[in-house]
Structure 1
Amino acid sequence: MGDDVQNRVLLIEDDEELRTLLARYLSGQGFTMREAACGQDGLALAEEYLCDVVVLDIMLPDISGLEVLRQLRARTHLPVVLLTARGDETDRIVGFEVGADDYIPKPCNPRELVARLQALLRRVSWDQKVEPAQVSAVGDLTVEPERRRVLLRGQPLDLTATEFEVLQVLLAHAGSVVRKTDLMQWALGRRLATHDRTLDMHISNLRRKLGEDGQARIETVRGLGYSYRVAS
């Protein structure tokens, strides 16, 4: 991992064997690790430790990972990757609604986790390195790239890092269809896999945050992808 990419990871996982395995593997890949075995300790570490991304297990012994995520989202926009039970669609959906950026099912492949973290951190790092871009407007949306912020009629939208990336790509191609495979690669930094609904969940959350006309703004083009439609 390049020196320009910040790589400080907070790992919140109660399974000691898995936590040790992941921490050791991530450290060997150049990540700086901090670990917590429960939600409250994780929140305390998030307050006192400067980290760049959080890896968060949903099943924790004191408070649920989803509650930890809610509290994190109330105070920070740090990227969060959830560790979820394999096949548990409900936790993933709720996790994205609360503000997760990505998820990986357990038992997880450490190499896959590294790839997800690197893709997420590269996007954030790249945005911080580019020269400040001029504010752009698409209809009643205003994009402030250097602040990673989107305003709807002057009011900031509460977007996660990944939601910002997805919306920014759609707005850059407003009026045109962006294929799901391209949107996944450009916004999430990885290929679209069979049965992976991560992108669909981010689109659903964006529509909800865009208000009553969110469904009309982000149009599904069946068999192809999505298109952001600017109201006339």
Structure 2
Amino acid sequence: MTLRKILIVDDDQKTRALLKAYLEKNQFEVRLAQDGASFMQAFERYRDELSLVILDVMLPDTDGFALCAHVRKHSRVPIIMLTASADDTDKIVGLELGADDYLGKPYNPRELLARIKAIQRRTGQDGGAPPRYYRFQGFVLDVVGRTLTDPAGDEVKLTGLDFQLLKYFLEHPGEVLDRNVLAEETRGRDLGPLDRSLDVQVSRLRQRLNDDGRQAALIKTVRGSGYVFSADVVTSHA
């Protein structure tokens, strides 16, 4: 069974509570620590059960770098470090000590979730077999049956391209996806400089999802970059 237990150390109580609620909503089991001492106790207790460690750099009794070095000495569990510093030196030091990823504060919890899922894919923690169901905003996509049902339980008609595009968005929630990447993944080719076919396809998918108003809420346009699927996504095998 895939381990999904995450240990988080952050000295801000509000941040800890928000992260715990958000990640538990996305089917992770979360353990919290408020300083280095409580982190060390929790790490020793849960070390063999952890799928990820999230370390805040600034702590009242130590720093995230020391904790990163200790974790890496005793475990290969993936590590994400969080910092409010804009100095690249912190990022370099963390990565040299064995951190797998780095995220600056303030950050969007969806981006943190996307990075966690990316680490899971790279390290094989995603369970091997891909999930069958993707749930978001009351919709359910069944990738085996290739069907989409809306919040009322009615089936939404999708073309093959609709399905491929939606599936790719749901596999990368919270990530800004370049237009050429989306075209390559769904059509097997790059876009020409005047090719608007992908934008037409996104517009059509928005209509399928009732997301085609002036301010799209599910698939948002990131000007100059591409698109981002902004809803929370929960996956399951059954």
Q: 2: CA distance between counterparts of 1:86 and 1:110?
A: 18
Q: Which stretches in structure 2 are left out of the alignment for 5+ residues?
A: 130-174, 179-238
Q: 1: CA distance between counterparts of 2:70 and 2:16?
A: 22
Q: How does 1:1-232 map to 2 (within 5 A)?
A: 5-49=2-46, 50-125=49-124, 129=128
Q: 1: CA distance between counterparts of 2:17 and 2:56?
A: 14
Cα distance, 1:64 vs structure 2: 0.7
Structure 1 residues 5-14 or 27-36, which shifts more? 5-14
Cα distance, 1:125 vs structure 2: 2.4
Q: 2: CA distance between counterparts of 1:58 and 1:10?
A: 14
Cα distance, 1:192 vs structure 2: 9.5
Cα distance, 1:73 vs structure 2: 1.1
- Deviation sequence 1:50-98 (CA, Å, 0-9, x none): 2110011000111111001111111111100000125221111110111
- Deviation sequence 1:177-220 (CA, Å, 0-9, x none): xxxxxxxxxxxxx7799xxxxxxxxxxxxxxxxxxxxxxxxxxx
Corresponding position of 2:167: none
Contact residue 92 and residue 103 of structure 1 kept, 8 A: yes
Higher helix proportion (structure 1 or 2): 1
Q: Equivalent residue of 1:78, what SS?
A: coil
Contact residue 6 and residue 53 of structure 2 kept, 8 A: yes
Q: Equivalent residue of 1:115, what SS?
A: helix
Contact residue 66 and residue 98 of structure 1 kept, 8 A: yes
Q: Which stretches in structure 1 are left out of the alignment for 5+ residues?
A: 131-189, 194-232
Q: Equivalent residue of 1:61, what SS?
A: coil
Aligned residues: 131
Cα distance, 1:127 vs structure 2: 8.9
TM-score normalized with structure 1 length: 0.52
Change beyond 3 A, Cα 1:103–1:44: same
Contact residue 7 and residue 121 of structure 1 kept, 8 A: no
Change beyond 3 A, Cα 1:26–1:127: closer
- Deviation sequence 1:86-139 (CA, Å, 0-9, x none): 522111111011111001111111000000001111222269859xxxxxxxxx
